[in-house]
A and B are shown apart, each in its own frame.
Chain A
Amino acid sequence: MVPSPHLSSVSMGDRRTPERIDAELRRRRSDLGGLVFRTVLQVGLILALLVLCVLLVDVVRDGWSVLSTRLGDFLSGTLRSRSVDEQLGVHQGLVGSFWIAVFTAVLAFPIGIGAAIYLEEFAPRNRITRFVDLNIRNLAGVPSVVYGLLGLFLFVSGLKWFTGGKTLLSAGLTLAILVLPIVIITASEAIRAVPDSLREGAYGVGATRWEVVRNLVLPYAAPGILTGTLLAMSRAIGEAAPLILVGAVTGRLGSDPGFLDLGALTERFVAMPIVITEWTQNSGRDIGFAAAAAAAIVVLLAFVLTLNSAAILLRNRFEKRRR
């Protein structure tokens, strides 16, 4: 066989010998480019994860002095004091965050899940439905501070006769609105994941649409829906910007209601993220506030990370269980 001048210098005939083949297959061509690429990627991944570790370590370390010495007092203390003393604590913040979580659960969950059911199971597939879908996706992308503006306009000013102005009620309503799109989107996804064969079997024996949804679709989608609600609640208690806009107190807060004191709803308020913000900013005056802020962060993270972990674990178990 005459080697073509266009091929590489090694002709086909030479390449066919067993020794050559062996050498070619075994030869570890150094792939420097690939190695560098892979290392860069690994560094990226490690950095992404490292952030979490460094963050947690730093925060726990900063707050350790407070958490380890007077945890109980801290949890029951208030913002009444202007200095870092024995009475400083997050109790009012916990109450505020508690009620915000309640509002999310009571308002955003039923409305959000109901909306998702309607959009996925009942609504005809026409332009209006598509528009509503798009609208919800856009709402999900609106910055939280803008929701604060809505809360300011609607609840603090507009419905002042009902909410009392810059109160916990306004805050709860504002945050319920903020997380509503998230609840709708995650619930919709969970419902969409229900296989059609399940529905057909039920329709086939003469069940109405709601009967199919209630008896088959919702139980099947329940874990996914629950995941969404946990994530939404975690988001709600972590938000600060909308609270600032609707008038959360920065500074001293006189009243210290209990957790189930409904009167607290029509009074001025704080919540955990606001407490953290305030103390962080005060640390210029007294460095002790930094430790208090860090301790408050740990308390907040305890709730947020628990909710998030529960949501993620639930979703992973649920995905594994479905064949």
Chain B
Amino acid sequence: MTTTIHDARAQGEQTQITQEPPGPDAGAYDEMPVPNMSMDSGELVFDIKGLGVSYGDFRAVRDVDFPIRSNEITAMIGPSGCGKSTVLRCLNRMNDLIDTARVEGLVEYHGVDLYHPSVDPVAVRRRIGMVFQKPNPFPKSIFDNVAFGPRVGGVRSGLDDIVEQSLRKAALWDEVKDRLKDSAFGLSGGQQQRLCIARALAVDPEVLLMDEPCSALDPIATTHIEDLMQDLKAEYSIVIVTHNMQQAARVSDRTAFFTTEKDADSVRPTGVMVECDRTEMIFSTPVDERTENYVTGRFG
């Protein structure tokens, strides 16, 4: 079991080794050194308690409980259909856009109930940005793509700097600095996805949500994005949904494993969260048998 993970790990750039307990994370807000493998490093950004989502009659996911800590990459893994994307979209209230969606439970963002009636979802999305599975640049120039967020937010001057900074952070600046006025569609898939990342960063969020950001990209582009994520971790908290178990193992600090269960009262299986822990624990000594089956490739 360890061997498989070890191989996967060896391809990534993680310095952690499976056998030893990890030291404190690279977060900027370390409060105390963490001697054991508990979940205490980094400040709490999200606290998800008892989250469940239904679309009309269909219960998509239930009983989700896990924290998101700052300056970490938290991955959500599991087979398809277990509600990972649904949960991700709860974190920035994107599910509001679907008429039939109902959310229950508690999503706390720095102590605030994100679904409190007086919270404005538009403001939420400025702080919690999102990158989607298939790159979706606007039919505008590269510059206008990145400047869109700040512009609607009321920023009138200093856009040039914001755009350049965002593109630099997304590791795209050097490739596009001479053609900012060109259409975004002229970029390759990997570049478009980095543009989408730059676009999300331009509004200066705290958190970056990424819904299978590499699944539509080729392996080289994927590597670029994964490297980028490691760099961004220093400034942002990242939550990623991925189908690619090895990617989660390579990239993330914390992993939440999801699966499906067939409830008696529903037709389709409902997603549930099985366990969440530091990545090396999930992949080496998971608590639940289902997790172990998944990460060792016995199913999924």
Chain A residues near B (Cβ < 8 Å): 124-125, 197-208, 211, 215-216, 219-220
Stretch at the interface among B110-118, B122-130, B219-227, B242-250: B122-130
Asked if residues A206 and B126 are in contact (CB atoms below 8 Å), the reply is yes
Asked if residues B126 and A201 are in contact (CB atoms below 8 Å), the reply is no
A202-B148, A206-B152, A220-B139 known; A197+B134 contact, CB < 8 A = yes
A206 touches which one: B99, B122, B132, B138 (CB < 8 A)?
B122
A200-B94, A215-B148 known; A207+B122 contact, CB < 8 A = yes
The 3 nearest A-B residue pairs measured at CB:
A205-B149, A206-B126, A206-B125
In residues 97-121 of chain B, which contact A (Cβ within 8 Å)? Answer: 97, 99
Does any Cβ of A come within 8 Å of B50's Cβ?
Answer: no
The smallest beta-carbon distance between A8 and chain B, in angstroms, is 49
A198-B136, A198-B138 known; A206+B123 contact, CB < 8 A = yes
CA distance A320 to B134 in the complex (A): 22
- Select from chain B the residue with minimum beta-carbon distance to A214: B152
Main DSSP-derived SS at the A contact region:
helix
The smallest beta-carbon distance between A170 and chain B, in angstroms, is 41
CA distance A197 to B192 in the complex (A): 14
Asked if residues A201 and B196 are in contact (CB atoms below 8 Å), the reply is yes
The smallest beta-carbon distance between A206 and chain B, in angstroms, is 4
- Determine the chain A residues whose CB is within 8 A of the CB of B92 once the complex forms: 204
- Determine the chain B residues whose CB is within 8 A of the CB of A200 once the complex forms: 94, 97, 130, 132, 136
Does any Cβ of A come within 8 Å of B199's Cβ?
Answer: yes
Q: List 15 A-B contacts (CB under 8 A).
A: A125-B99, A197-B132, A198-B136, A200-B97, A200-B136, A204-B92, A204-B131, A205-B129, A205-B152, A205-B200, A205-B202, A205-B203, A206-B124, A207-B122, A219-B139
- Select from chain B the residue with minimum beta-carbon distance to A197: B136
CA distance A203 to B200 in the complex (A): 11
- Determine the chain A residues whose CB is within 8 A of the CB of B125 once the complex forms: 203-206
Q: Which has the most chain A C-beta neighbours within 10 Å: B136, B153, B196?
A: B136
What size tier do the contact residues of chain B reach? 20 to 34
The smallest beta-carbon distance between B150 and chain A, in angstroms, is 9
Does any Cβ of A come within 8 Å of B83's Cβ?
Answer: no
- Determine the chain A residues whose CB is within 8 A of the CB of B149 once the complex forms: 205-207
CA distance A208 to B93 in the complex (A): 13
Does any Cβ of A come within 8 Å of B137's Cβ?
Answer: yes
CA distance A184 to B99 in the complex (A): 23
CA distance A267 to B125 in the complex (A): 57
- Determine the chain B residues whose CB is within 8 A of the CB of A125 once the complex forms: 99
CA distance A206 to B203 in the complex (A): 8
In residues 191-244 of chain B, which contact A (Cβ within 8 Å)? Answer: 196, 199-200, 202-203
The smallest beta-carbon distance between B163 and chain A, in angstroms, is 13
B94 touches which one: A197, A203, A208 (CB < 8 A)?
A203
CA distance A207 to B153 in the complex (A): 8
In the complex, besides A202-B138, A206-B203, 9 extra interface pairs with C-beta distance below 8 angstroms are A197-B132, A197-B136, A201-B132, A201-B196, A203-B94, A205-B152, A205-B203, A206-B152, A215-B148
